[in-house]
Structure 1
Amino acid sequence: MDKTFDLTDISDWQTNMESSPVTLPAIQRGFVWKPKQVEDLWDSIMRGYPIGSFLVSRNVDKFDLMDGQQRATTIFIAHYNPFDTNGLGKIWSLKIIPVLWIDIKPISKPDTSKYSFRLITNSHPWGYQSKENNKKLSVSDRRNALEIFREDEKNKSGYTTFSNSTVFPYDCTFPIPFCFFLKADDYDDVIKSIEDYLPDNIRTKEKKFSNKDDYLKLLKGDLKSQIEEILITTRKIKNKKINYDIIENETLNEEEKQDNPTLFIRLNSSGTALTGDDLIYSIYKSIFPDAKKLVEEINLNFIQPVQIISLATRITASKLDKNTFTRKMSVRDFQRRIKDDNFKSKLNNILSNKTFKELFQKAIDILSCKNNDQFIGEIPPILIKTFIKRNQELFLFFIYWLHINKEKDLTDEIKFKMTSKLFLFSWFNFKNEKLLWEEKINNTDFWEEPINEMMRWKNEYGIQLLLPPDMLREYYKQEHIVNKFKLQDEHRWGLDLNGVGEKIIEYYQEIKIKELENHISNEYFWKLINNLHSNRQLLLFVQREYINTEFTDFNNLEDLEDTDTPWDWDHIYPDSWHNGKHNINKGIKEWNNNIGNYRVLSLEQNRSENNNLSPAERLNSNSTQETSFIQKNDYKYWSKINEIIKDDKIDNHFNAITIRMINIYEKVWNELKIHDFIKR
């Protein structure tokens, strides 16, 4: 018996899943390779290098793929034609299929590669850098590629809604979709595919042609030999045989007697490693074959399936343990728990009925504040997703509280307070989730209670002590504070006890501690300012109207570990004006990465070539000021900055950034109604 597959066979496993002789068992994870790995594998295949064998097991009249999924999917990606998807059914694990191109005459490529493959994805629609194919394109390159893309009238929709058939790699010279070669019999077939499918406005960074017609002239002339040379190689590799080994039934029968899929774990150790939640998810799928479908139905595009399983296992454990806090499970913990029939049954039930999906949907609806009469606008999906990703303990507390209090009538006011508290905890460094669970999970009125006790809760890990914005503004208006930064005083970041500093200590004592030592007050103050200094989540919140308008479709969740945002974090005072330069006041360097100097700006709007426009030039229109959250009190200083600040005259820079930072904080304070949570 011939124990080999050729490349076309392997590609067909996914394009013809019903008739495919090889299937993907439930225990396997999704596709996780990064673009560099995809490109490198195809460079190896084209060079005739061995790529390893596949490991399968018999399953009635088919084979289950036990090892080799990443390579198999990479082979499929190269054969995938985004311009002709007729008959393409459900794919193993990819929701949005990347497209592989080849640069037929590259000016630059990775040092270890013979061929220059270029993978484009939904998050990186113009690919990565040609020389270092594990690095993103520069902002300038992405912006230039987007300008070319926008020339086509069909491409005026949202940044992330376009089809992968309308984009092309930018950092290259002469790119062609690699599937054109794999499906071609000769040179004429490749040219016909290019004529039929490539976008009319295709151009690349190297500017060797101006449009498709110009490109075709080159392909039919000077570049014909390059196409024919690649065709010679692709004809050879079409028949390349990849070996496979079979795990015999005796081995599998022995495995089935075990409580845990040890075989898969052992195989995994030599392939694409699974750890933690990923491995737990794979174990769960091996026990419950329908798990993947159930979990993906719950997904809602806000949370990864592996995280859903993690949350579900902890909710199940907490229910069995009378609402006690359950730490995130290790693989060993999960393997031990899943042996318990009661735990196994309840875990499967919670995932297989509608309750869990409805619980997730309810939580996300509350966090969005959509149609909530207590809040203006809507929380952008990216903020909700970031909250869930970074604060799984808080999110677990939230959904479990909703679960055990499902009969409680939740008014818009209570829902708004839920959202406010959760984002406050997230943005202001609450880290005491275990105590929160132990003392508050059964408290039906928790969301309406003041947060005073939870600021430095039990003397550690509570939410930061929050100052009223007016007090903070008054503090930074003081001349001696401005001078501290101007003169680069070593204590400039701490709390100066003179003047307004005394009011701040009195405020701390009023809301929290009657007798407060000065060094503790200094610690509270420094931590709050340090957090405000760099917390970009606050900026996303205050620019939410702009984000929701410009990026309504952006909800970044892909199977590839390949993420990006369709906007720049734009420095108002250009980073290039101080970065790498000598004799620049430290105050400029320290405050330039403050959120007061950042704004969210779409790639197509960020037209500042070489990032050299002055703040006065960047912010000179009312519409720009509105979308960038520039207020009159900070614009007063931005408008005076027309050139690089080379001496200690940093007053305008310091005032503009400090005032805007406090404006951002004030908007968060007012719109989340923080004052309602602090009892004085």
Structure 2
Amino acid sequence: MKYFQYSDCETKNYFIFTLRQVGSWSGNVEDNAPGNRIKARVPSFQRGLVWEPQQIELLWDSIFRGFPIGSIVIIDRIKEQHDKSNPTHAKSEQTQESEVDTSHHILDGQQRCNAIAWGFVDPWKDGISNDVVLWLDLIPKSLLKNTTRKYLFRVATKAHPWGFHNGDEASILKVEQRKEFMGKVDNFKENFKKYDCEKLSYKFKEKYLSQNFNERPLPSLALPYYAEFPVPVFLLFRHFKEGKLDWDALAQEEWISFVESWAKEANKISDISKGEREIVESGLRKAEQCRLIALLVSNEGIENSIDNIEQIFQRLNGQGTPLDNEELIYSMIKAYWPEIEEIMNKLAKKPITDVRLVNLGIRIALTEESDQKIESQLTVDQIRKIFSKNPDKDIKDLEKRERIEKYFGSGELEKALIWIDESFLYEEKSRTYGLPAYLRSSIAWSSREVFAWLMLLAKRYQYISMSCEDKNTRRIIGLALVVHWFGIDKEKAINRLINESDLSSIKIADMNKNSDKRLVLVPLNITDLNEAFQLDENSSPEQLINWSSFWQGVVVRNKDGKEKKTDEQNESIGLFIEKLRQQQELLVYAQREYLEDAFKGFDPSNKLMWKGHNRPWDYDHILASEKLNGTGKGKREQLKFHEICKAWQQSIGNQVAVDFSFNRAAQDIDPIEKYKSVKIKGYNLKERGFDVFASDDELESFKLNLSDLQSKNDPLNPARSFVLANKKRLIKIYQEWYDNLQID
């Protein structure tokens, strides 16, 4: 089909592009279309990537089926704006690109354009991001049964190299499926040299074997879990000419040899039937014929008014994927002050995304030394007043902008982040009690008030790092985690701390005084916690039978299993224990030595890594839940102690944070062997703190199963033994945090 001549519509308010032309805007795709003088890029005030994997996959399914894919909105290049870094470029290439060839800026449709670009990008090309690969399964077979798709496009990301579920929702895979995938990675690596890989270049083999196979593989070095014969989409376009796919040329690509080797001869490109080939070629023809309409915003009257452009952007984006308030504020700031993005790009280490950091930084910049509380997050209207170039701006707004620009421009934000890391992060030889990097970032994600407090402390300490011996160092970490894990009104709790001159002497219970409601749940000391559970070796059958949940066992019933009167203090203890029993981050703190050593490359600032509560380790149950499953109504009456065992089976006392490689190796191994003899990365797990919270004898109690609870087998002793061993381990995990950080 003849390419559209742009000169034909110079006086009109729209342009029409091929998909390849849209892909060429990324700078990684060649486009030889005659008359192509348009280079549209994203202005710096645009938000980051927000499209979900299923949106990318379904967009390409629509393209291959000839469905309309909507339009985008562009404007002549905005002189006051820089170009946003391109998502297809590797991070090492994310310098400020030359903007001379940028002719237009994209006001609406950034995500659609990015999704299109991934279909033309070679993930093996130097300088290309390895965060995303777009595949097409050429032999989807039964995988398309429970979906509206005709084509099974597969998105794999750095966080999810195994891809996503094959349904329309593209949900994340289950833990068991991820383990299976990683097992295949291990097996493929071990047999790599045995496979018929003569078509693979030395560079390909070297890159594959140089991976750290204890971590996730790059998405370009493993095939999606739900796919029979996936091929990178850019390869299909490379060999599609004049309406036909050159299958012979495609078969010679080293990618194909890699796919065939991964499948262990289960599928070969020669196995693709004539009908399946026709379906692929039909989709490619429709993709080649697909056109994207770009509506052109007239510059008349708005070229020199960033206020109007910002308003247009907000209204356009209000119709698509909604921006949360932080994203909206950051976009507005970049519209009026584009240099902020360059400042953020230069930050060496980021515990969270730029969006969150900028919003926190603004609040700290506007908090005075004498203020009794941290400045609240600004509204959209307040940001517009502060950053707009209105000549009649209020003097107070001018002062606020100056303070914000000074805070960021002078490097105070970066100094604050460095201060937090140098003062509080775990160090193997010095600050052994410190925070694992994961917890530092979790605070920033889930408890922004707490992280803002740490940033304010950095400012008040004049960015001079706290020593390990400073009595306040442990105290600040402990207080931060108390509010993070057990805070009810975190903002008010933090504002109470701001007014304390001596943090080492503050009592956590005092934070609730003179307040009409509880601000934090007060951590119990070890003695009180042990007593609160009301469980010991003398616990009667009646008590254990009625201990159907933590709330029942702690709040509702006494040590005899009978109902008791509850009071405010007892309920407060119950609420605290409810939080405690499922606080998996206590495991992260207790196992900080192992996790910090095993996952040094984990990037907590990448929000994709957190999608679906994702992280590079798993929370493994010592006693698996299936060991206690399978009860019917008839059996349940015979299993008198089943409920208490199920309740404790789900607690952190029965969990360990372990990497996927351990979890794969440890399947079907009894608890003692699981934590005594399995070796990962050359060291014995027993030596790395896995069983420091349970002796071999105690681990014996975790070998419980349903038959042990049958009434004919005297179930009291195994049930009580499991519960007490679990309780003891939970308390030791808690004590590791409580004592190290001097919570009391």
TM-score by length of 2: 0.78
- Match of 2:220, SS state, is coil
* Paired position in structure 2 for 1:508: none
- TM-fit CA distance, 1:389: 1.0
Comparing 409-418 with 657-666, greater Cα deviation is found at 409-418
- TM-fit CA distance, 1:195: 5.2
- TM-fit CA distance, 1:280: 0.4
2:413 maps to 1:356: yes
- TM-fit CA distance, 1:251: 5.1
Comparing 395-404 with 184-193, greater Cα deviation is found at 184-193
1:306 counterpart letter in structure 2: V
Comparing 274-283 with 471-480, greater Cα deviation is found at 471-480
> Given the superposition, is the C-alpha separation of residues 497 and 277 from structure 1 closer, same or farther in structure 2, using an over 3 Å criterion?
same
2:131 maps to 1:119: no
* Paired position in structure 2 for 1:331: 380
Residue deviations 1:326-363 (CA, integer Å, cap 9, x gap) = 22233233334445222222212211222221111111
Residue deviations 1:599-649 (CA, integer Å, cap 9, x gap) = 11222222379x765545544548445546334756424314253243453
Residue deviations 1:60-113 (CA, integer Å, cap 9, x gap) = 771111111011000111111112x1465xxxxxx6531011111212125211
* Paired position in structure 2 for 1:98: 132
- TM-fit CA distance, 1:202: 1.3
- Match of 2:182, SS state, is helix
* Paired position in structure 2 for 1:245: 295
Q: 2:553 aligns with which of 492, 514, 520?
A: 492
Number of aligned residue pairs: 636
Distance in 1 of aligned mates of 2:492 and 2:151: 53
2:532 maps to 1:469: no
Q: 2:251 aligns with which of 191, 203, 213?
A: 191
Distance in 1 of aligned mates of 2:303 and 2:284: 41
> Given the superposition, is the C-alpha separation of residues 617 and 421 from structure 1 closer, same or farther in structure 2, using an over 3 Å criterion?
same
Residue deviations 1:424-467 (CA, integer Å, cap 9, x gap) = 33233363533543x54365532x22324535343543443333
Distance in 2 of aligned mates of 1:298 and 1:271: 30
2:149 maps to 1:108: no
Distance in 2 of aligned mates of 1:663 and 1:443: 31
* Paired position in structure 1 for 2:569: 521
- Match of 1:291, SS state, is helix
- Match of 1:487, SS state, is helix
* Paired position in structure 1 for 2:57: 39
- Match of 1:65, SS state, is strand
> Given the superposition, is the C-alpha separation of residues 409 and 194 from structure 1 closer, same or farther in structure 2, using an over 3 Å criterion?
closer
Q: How does 1:524-539 map to 2 (within 5 A)?
A: 524-539=572-587
Q: 2:314 aligns with which of 265, 275, 280?
A: 265
* Paired position in structure 2 for 1:67: 108
- TM-fit CA distance, 1:255: 4.9
1:12 counterpart letter in structure 2: S
Distance in 1 of aligned mates of 2:348 and 2:323: 20
1:522 counterpart letter in structure 2: N
- Match of 2:709, SS state, is coil
Q: How does 1:625-664 map to 2 (within 5 A)?
A: 625-627=686-688, 629-631=690-692, 635-640=696-701, 641=703, 643-644=705-706, 645-647=708-710, 648-649=715-716, 650-664=719-733
RMSD over aligned Cα atoms: 3.2
CA contact (8 A) 1:56 1:67 kept: yes
> Given the superposition, is the C-alpha separation of residues 587 and 466 from structure 1 closer, same or farther in structure 2, using an over 3 Å criterion?
same
* Paired position in structure 2 for 1:22: 40
2:340 maps to 1:291: yes
2:68 counterpart letter in structure 1: P
Comparing 328-337 with 7-16, greater Cα deviation is found at 328-337
Residue deviations 1:507-560 (CA, integer Å, cap 9, x gap) = xxxxxxxxxx97133123212321221110101111122212322212244364
2:19 maps to 1:7: yes
2:591 maps to 1:543: yes
* Paired position in structure 2 for 1:366: 423
- TM-fit CA distance, 1:371: 6.3
Higher RCO (Cα < 8 Å, 6 or more apart): 1
CA contact (8 A) 2:352 2:604 kept: no
Distance in 1 of aligned mates of 2:622 and 2:166: 30
Structure 1: gaps spanning 5 or more residues:
89-94, 204-209, 500-516
* Paired position in structure 2 for 1:502: none
Distance in 2 of aligned mates of 1:472 and 1:482: 20
1:521 counterpart letter in structure 2: Q
Q: How does 1:290-329 map to 2 (within 5 A)?
A: 290-298=339-347, 300-319=349-368, 322=371, 324-329=373-378
* Paired position in structure 2 for 1:174: 229
- Match of 1:538, SS state, is helix
Q: 2:73 aligns with which of 55, 64, 67?
A: 55
Comparing 220-229 with 73-82, greater Cα deviation is found at 220-229
Residue deviations 1:163-217 (CA, integer Å, cap 9, x gap) = 33212112221211111101113212321224577367513xxxxxx15xx64xx
CA contact (8 A) 1:67 1:267 kept: yes
2:455 maps to 1:399: yes
1:427 counterpart letter in structure 2: W
Residue deviations 1:550-595 (CA, integer Å, cap 9, x gap) = 2221224436474522222211111112346331521122112100
CA contact (8 A) 1:17 1:23 kept: no
> Given the superposition, is the C-alpha separation of residues 485 and 58 from structure 1 closer, same or farther in structure 2, using an over 3 Å criterion?
farther
CA contact (8 A) 2:483 2:490 kept: no
Distance in 1 of aligned mates of 2:354 and 2:287: 36
Structure 2: gaps spanning 5 or more residues:
1-7, 10-14, 31-36, 80-101, 191-208, 241-245, 389-396, 679-683
Distance in 2 of aligned mates of 1:417 and 1:630: 27
1:21 counterpart letter in structure 2: K
* Paired position in structure 2 for 1:385: 441
Distance in 1 of aligned mates of 2:664 and 2:305: 60
- Match of 2:219, SS state, is coil
Distance in 2 of aligned mates of 1:135 and 1:372: 41
Distance in 1 of aligned mates of 2:438 and 2:659: 15
- TM-fit CA distance, 1:226: 2.8
Distance in 2 of aligned mates of 1:452 and 1:558: 33
- TM-fit CA distance, 1:285: 0.6
- TM-fit CA distance, 1:254: 7.9
> Given the superposition, is the C-alpha separation of residues 618 and 263 from structure 1 closer, same or farther in structure 2, using an over 3 Å criterion?
same
2:474 maps to 1:425: no
> Given the superposition, is the C-alpha separation of residues 157 and 20 from structure 1 closer, same or farther in structure 2, using an over 3 Å criterion?
farther
2:82 maps to 1:82: no
> Given the superposition, is the C-alpha separation of residues 423 and 126 from structure 1 closer, same or farther in structure 2, using an over 3 Å criterion?
same
CA contact (8 A) 1:126 1:167 kept: yes
CA contact (8 A) 1:428 1:464 kept: yes
Distance in 1 of aligned mates of 2:369 and 2:705: 65
- Match of 2:554, SS state, is coil
Percent identity between the two aligned chains = 22
CA contact (8 A) 1:495 1:525 kept: no
Distance in 1 of aligned mates of 2:63 and 2:511: 58
